[in-house]
Amino acid sequence: MSLAVVRSRAPAAGRAPDVTVEVHLANGLPSFSIVGLPDLEVRESRERVRAALSNCGFDFPVRRITVNLAPADLPKESGRFDLPIALGILAASGQIPAASLTAAREFAGELSLSGAVRPMRGAFAMACGTARAHSGAPQPPDTHDAAPAHTHFEAQASCACTPEIYLPADNAAEAALVPGVDVYAVPDLRTLCAHLSGEEGARLAPVRASALDAAQAASPPDMVDVIGQRGARRALEVAAAGGHHLLMVGPPGAGKSMLAARLPGLLPPMTDAEALASAALLSASSLGFSPQQWRRRPFRAPHHSSSAAALIGGRNPPQPGEITLAHSGVLFLDELPEFDRHVLETLREPLEAGSITISRAAWQTDFPAACQLVAAMNPCPCGWRGDPSGRCRCTPEAAARYRRKLSGPLLDRIDIQIEIPALPPAELASRASAPGEPSAVVAARVAAARERQIARQGKTNRELSGRETDAVCRPDAAGEALLREAGERFGWSARAYYRALKVARTIADLADSPMPEAAHVAEAVQYRRAFSDQ
């Protein structure tokens, strides 16, 4: 047989589209060609595959070898196609049975010159794509439009056999977390070929997902470490309960970064769909994914020198940015005014929609971006405005100019805006005598409030549309009058008005109240006063 077909998948920002590796051997002058939009890494696989076959004891065909990576209009990158190309050559030359390369088996991995299979990125995303393709879930169209990874992957496959994927041994543990697919750890090319040939005692066993040891999984920072700051702790609880965006304004050392780092520990556990989508995105990125990150809310904290492409995504073909890597988790922007204003303005649409579309000349890709924004900033350039010590020397004009680095449309999209004062030494000294609540206690209240929201409307309060907000967030008469007065006094936009309504609804959910009352509205109004006097 001179033609062999091997199944694989390409790394495409968590989507892992199907790639068919076709290998044809023909008579003529010896050559080795790879077609199908391969990048430099893929083209270099010719030398790796040639050396790996020789060092594993196989014959390299002295014929005209053509490798086609289909579909031809999908760019191929990384060394993951080394393994399927090598298997295709072996099957086409009759050195392994071609019948073993069935459509239910997929292969990926980079080969070393000795034939060992090296780890790669995107193994989890590949397993998700395989499970989706062989389940009853609808498939996205075979175009460059990558669908957001929100799909729930069913454990039962629609075909008679369970799909199999063969991955580097170092990547098998993460891929085994995906239900509905059998994952095989491949140490080297020779072992895999013996398994496919059915040699006695050479069968590989599927890797099973093992539960993480409690000591192995790192615990998120605990709220008990936060001294004082009762108002900020309460705002953080409200933000966690309703999924609201949060901005903290305060002097250096007030605890803004410390509070932000503790937000993931207050959020409810990830659902199956959230965990699969988040892990697939991390796996396909340059960060990679490890089993220790399974079901842990992402916490991304990019530096303020980050570009717009780093924050929202870019390149060609498009790659996800920090807002996508924080999907279902927290995006923390410290020193918010130090970010380039243009960079911050690019966040406006994805914060509102929960997704982002990156368009290039030949590509249009949709990335999920349903994260919770937490930002922190100083009140003035020196950071000490309002401090009792009087050390601030910034003029009112300089402080106002510093705050005006943040546009009104961006601030409108941040539900909770609070000022955090510096702690006096006396309160710092009372740490042992007055410890704060641990995260577990606060998280229990947050989970109960979230359950009320899901039971009532099927989503968090932050995700409510305008009509839904009118239906479920309308306060009592006293609360409505208070909200109207606050909106007129502070000149709120329609968006700010409705976001205050959503925050009031979340406060009522924490209190298990059937509707927002005047006290709940008053607290929500207080959470939008940090910039009301600007």
Question: How far apart are the C-alpha atoms of 22 and 20, rounded to whole Å?
Answer: 6
If DSSP codes are grouped into helix, strand and coil, which group holds residue 106? strand
pLDDT at 533 > cutoff 60: no
- Residue carrying structure tokens 């709940």: 520
Q: What percent of the chain has pLDDT over 90?
A: 61
Residue where the block lists tokens 């570009």: 307
SS3 state of residue 493 = coil
With tokens 């409705």, the residue in question is 498
**What pLDDT sits at residue 216?**
45
pLDDT on residue 339 = 95
Q: Which residues contact 165 (CB under 8 A, 6 or more apart)?
A: 105, 106, 107, 108, 126, 127, 130, 175, 181, 182, 183, 184
Q: What pLDDT, on the 0 to 100 scale, is given for residue 145?
A: 39
Q: What is the pLDDT of residues 195-223, one digit of tens each?
A: 999 998 889 999 987 654 433 456 788 89
Predicted confidence (pLDDT) per residue in 74-108, tens digit: 889 889 999 999 999 999 999 999 999 999 999 99
CATH number among 3.30.230.10, 3.40.50.2300, 3.30.70.330, 3.90.1150.10, domain 3-197:
3.30.230.10
Residue 8, pLDDT above cutoff 60: yes
pLDDT, residue 217, reads 52
Q: Mean pLDDT over residues 481-500, rounded?
A: 92
Give 436-466 pLDDT, tens digit per residue. 789 999 999 999 999 999 999 999 999 999 8
pTM: 0.84
CA-closest candidate to residue 292, choices 218, 343, 190, 377: 218
User: Is the pLDDT reported for residue 4 higher than 80?
Assistant: yes
DSSP letter at 116? B
306 versus 314: which is more confidently predicted? 306
Domain 223-437 has CATH 3.40.50.300: yes
How far is Cα 284 from Cα 175, in angstroms, rounded to an integer? 12
Mean pLDDT along residues 506-533: 88
pLDDT in tens, 139-184: 333 333 333 333 333 333 334 578 999 999 999 988 998 988 999 9
Return the domain boundaries, the chain.
Answer: 3-197, 223-437, 464-534
pLDDT exceeds 90 at position 188? yes
Q: Which amino acid is at 317?
A: P
Q: Which residues contact 40 (CB under 8 A, 6 or more apart)?
A: none
Cβ–Cβ under 8 Å, residues 357 and 315: no
**Residues 345-363 pLDDT 10s:** 999 999 998 999 888 776 7
| pLDDT range class, residue 289, cuts 50, 70, 90 | confident
Q: Name the residue with higher pLDDT: 386 or 268.
A: 268
Region 365-389: mean pLDDT is: 88
Return the closest-CA partner of residue 147 out of 387, 382, 355: 355
